[in-house]
Amino acid sequence: MPITDFDAERAYDDEQFAAHKVFKTDNLQVVCGYFDPGQFIPVHAPDSDLVVAVQSGTGVVREGETDHRVEPGDVVTVAAGTDRGVKADDDSQLEALLVTAPPPSEAEHEPVRVGLRRGEFDPS
């Protein structure tokens, strides 16, 4: 998929954040993330670098011990092995481009699955 945009990929899920994968190789993954108010990617620490570029809405990106308030135009980077999570504000949808290099493994995403099952942003 050489070109796309947030409007073309937009899909929300009433139950949890929606991640629409637009590109993936062994070295890189690009996802358009769509969060209804209060939805989140639970805090986890995979061995991959992360870039979050906020397209619309407001929320928080966790980077280690720091919660960064984000709004459209903000870009947050998180180094591999550092705790990270993304959460939409309770009164705002959030849309963001999420780039990971390399893509996290299935095992590294287990804390995400646990946090979503429990409804916990920080499942630790």
The pTM of this model reads: 0.94
Q: What pLDDT is stored for residue 59 in this prediction? A: 98
Q: What pLDDT is stored for residue 123 in this prediction? A: 83
- Give me 108's structure tokens: 């590294």
Written as tens digits, the pLDDT of the chain (124 aa) is 578 889 989 999 999 999 999 999 999 999 999 999 999 999 999 999 999 999 999 999 999 999 999 999 999 999 999 999 999 999 999 999 999 999 999 999 899 999 999 999 998 7
> In angstroms, rounded to a whole number, what is the distance separating the alpha carbons of residues 119 and 115?
6
- CA distances, 62 to each of 9, 38, 81, 87 (Å): 25, 14, 13, 8
Q: What pLDDT is stored for residue 1 in this prediction? A: 59
* Domains identified in the chain and CATH numbers: 19-118 (2.60.120.10)
